[in-house]
């Protein structure tokens, strides 16, 4: 499989599906979506005869199987890899859920660094949506698990201004009280406006003051900064950061995490997206079930007109679906 290739199990087109027997329709559905309907597979395949399994292979060609040059139907290699991921989805969700949160975040950070730029947003997510103590715990766990600090690994793997921003974020230990100095918040809002407005001259990722404000200030303070930014510029700050994806993720995670997580869920539930993107569904529900899942669910429903529960019911299968719905019930 090529790096970055989008993969999903293609649903058989309506005309073909309508021609299948009920058993084959059930099997086709069991293989479609997120996760696998294990009960349906056991109930039908476990009792089937060789000729019935051959009928399934022929009926689903070319979606799962293809004709080999030596005249037999064989699995398409692409779908073998995909189904392995789908069978593992439930196991991975359970393993993540049972980990200590510190270890979970440390392992998620390590995986993000291995996967490359498309996964660096996970580092922002961990650094900016956890409490100071939770982030410190993840850093301790990272030390123990990998014999490095997360800061040195981020600095080693990510070059330039983006790396500088991410090192500052994962190193942060923010004040978590409620006190905010309004005049300071207003002054720093002006600093951000100027930095973002002058993007043609200098990318805001390269501005030391931007990094200082976003990596050290408390979340209540940054929400005030965001409010003043809109008053000064007439725009929400994240609207002005489409050219700076990592900064946009940072601002959203710090100021409106429910919007950030709702977008991750939206992307993960789309068809034909990369397998790494699909993992966002497990990651968000497992890591937020004990904290702000209710707010995330409300944001998702307000934005999409359908609840997250309904969307998962429609999209996911089997034990994986049941586990996600159980976690959502805890957080709702």
Q: Which residues are annotated as a binding site?
A: 31, 33, 35, 86
Q: Are 324 and 42 in contact (CB under 8 A)?
A: no
- Tokens read off for 308: 């997250």
Residues 6+ away with beta carbon under 8 Å from 243: 199
Q: Which residue ranges make up the annotated binding site for Ca(2+)?
A: 31, 33, 35, 86
Q: Are 143 and 98 in contact (CB under 8 A)?
A: no
- Tokens read off for 65: 């199987």
Q: Are 48 and 57 in contact (CB under 8 A)?
A: no
Q: Are 135 and 127 in contact (CB under 8 A)?
A: yes
67 SS3 class: strand
Residues 6+ away with beta carbon under 8 Å from 259: 252, 299
Q: Are strands 73-75 and 65-67 parallel, antiparallel or unpaired?
A: antiparallel
| Dist CA 35 CA 16 (whole Å) | 22
Closest by CA position to 262, among listed 277, 278, 284, 245: 284
| Dist CA 331 CA 329 (whole Å) | 5
DSSP 3: T
Quote the radius of gyration of the chain (alpha carbons, Å): 23
Angstrom CA distances, 310 to 60, 207, 297, 322, stand at 28, 43, 11, 12
């Amino acid at each position: 499989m090529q790096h970055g290739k989008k993969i999903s199990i293609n649903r058989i087109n309506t005309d073909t599906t309508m021609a299948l027997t009920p058993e084959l329709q059930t099997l086709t559905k069991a293989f479609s979506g997120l996760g696998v309907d294990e009960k349906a597979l056991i109930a039908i395949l476990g009792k089937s005869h060789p000729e019935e399994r051959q009928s399934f292979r022929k009926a689903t060609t070319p979606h799962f199987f293809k004709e080999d040059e030596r005249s037999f139907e064989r699995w398409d290699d692409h779908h073998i890899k995909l189904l392995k991921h789908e069978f593992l989805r439930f196991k991975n969700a359970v393993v993540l859920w049972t980990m200590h949160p510190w270890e979970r975040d440390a392992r998620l950070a390590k995986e993000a660094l291995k996967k490359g730029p498309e996964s660096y947003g996970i580092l922002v997510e961990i650094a900016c949506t956890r409490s100071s103590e939770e982030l410190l715990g993840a850093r301790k766990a990272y030390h123990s698990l990998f014999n490095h600090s997360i800061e040195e690994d981020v600095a080693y793997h990510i070059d330039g201004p983006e790396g500088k921003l991410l090192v500052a974020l994962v190193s942060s230990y923010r004040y978590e009280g409620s006190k905010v100095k309004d005049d300071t918040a207003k002054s720093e809002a002006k600093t951000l406006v100027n930095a973002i407005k002058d993007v043609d001259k200098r990318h805001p990722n390269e501005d030391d003051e931007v990094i200082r404000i976003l990596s050290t200030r408390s979340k209540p303070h940054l929400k005030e900064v965001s409010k003043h930014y809109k008053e000064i510029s007439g725009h929400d700050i994240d609207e002005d950061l489409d050219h700076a994806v990592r900064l946009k993720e940072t601002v959203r995670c710090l100021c409106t995490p429910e919007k950030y997580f709702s977008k991750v869920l939206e992307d993960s539930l789309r068809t034909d997206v990369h397998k790494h993107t699909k993992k966002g569904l497990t990651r968000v529900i497992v890591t937020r079930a004990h904290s702000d899942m209710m707010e995330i669910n409300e944001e998702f429903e307000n934005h999409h007109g359908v609840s997250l529960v309904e969307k998962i019911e429609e999209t996911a299968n089997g034990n994986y679906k049941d586990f996600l719905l159980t976690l959502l019930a805890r957080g709702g």
